[in-house]
Amino acid sequence: MQHAVGAPLPPPQGPGSGPVGWTHQAQHPGPPGPPPTTPPTPQGWRGPAPQHAPAPVSRETTGHVQLPPGGPVPLPAPPAGPGTGSATLAVLLIGPAGAGKTTVAKLWASRRRVPTAHVSLDDVREWVCSGFADPQAGWNDHSEAQYRLARRTCGFAARNFLANGISCILDDAVFPDRPVVGLGGWKRHVGPGLLPIVLLPGLEIVLERNAARSGNRRLSDEEVARIHGRMAGWYGSGLPIIDNSTYDVETTARVLDDILARSIASPPAW
């Protein structure tokens, strides 16, 4: 028999048609038992039996930690001591492939005295496994869309970290002459308090570091040289630039912290 879509289902037919272990009293009459009992009601109560409120949930119960929503990141307050101290920051570390952005960002984040997260745009882009649009195969609508999506995801992450008292440093190869991968999107997704810093060593350094890479993180020498040449456009932009050609990672992270402290006191115009 067919039943109209949305009509109530017919009742179970025949014995044993209900759920396992469940006895339908109308189908299986038995000797009458004692009437059901109800809890006593207060003196003079004429309504239904009162319902007792459930016990309060323990603060230590998993899943009941309230997290503030993330909003646009404002400019941080100047630190009291040298370096960035305990200031809560949103940092964007810019540079070409092989500049050492990810390595420096991780070290700077791990050495701070306050909770600090590191988010790499390349890592987030590669969350897409099947259908990953690798820009090395050519910049097209798919690679641009995935880049924009990854940047927006990083921005949401940074805002949520900051809203919950955790600083965040992001790294990305932002070009000064290309609006699609420019700074405007980062300011829109993170907020006006984002502090951009450029990491720009010499060409021979980035070529050497790129040669040690593997997989889709390794670019051709021609591509590295082209990207490095375009990054030179940051000179004269007003953004702080670190030439870490002769610095090790420790020194670069220390210089980054000093420059960030100056950027907090006098934010760059961008």
Per-residue pLDDT of 150-207, as tens digits, reads 999 999 999 999 999 999 999 998 988 876 667 888 988 998 899 999 999 999 999 9
Distance CA 94, CA 234 (A): 10
pLDDT at 56: 60
Mean pLDDT over the full length of the chain? 79
Task: Tell whether the model's pLDDT for residue 72 goes beyond 80.
Answer: no
CB atoms within 10 A of CB 103: 14
Nearest residue to 127 (alpha-carbon basis) of 147, 109, 110, 142:
147
Top pLDDT among 117 and 15 is at 117
pLDDT at 22: 41
Model pLDDT for residues 98-139, shown as the tens digit of each residue: 899 999 999 999 999 999 999 999 899 889 998 888 767 777
CB atoms within 10 A of CB 148: 14
What is the C-alpha end-to-end distance of the chain, expressed in Å? 71
For 119-137, the three-class secondary structure string (H helix, E strand, C coil) is: EEHHHHHCCCCCCCCCHHH
Four-CA torsion 173, 176, 180, 185, nearest 10 degrees: 80
Instruction: Find where tokens 């500049």 sit.
Output: 99
CB atoms within 10 A of CB 131: 7
Helix (H, G, I), strand (E, B) or coil at 194: coil
Q: Among 36-40, 93-97, 179-183, which stretch is predicted with the lowest mean pLDDT?
A: 36-40
Provide the pLDDT confidence category of residue 7 given band limits of 50, 70 and 90.
very low
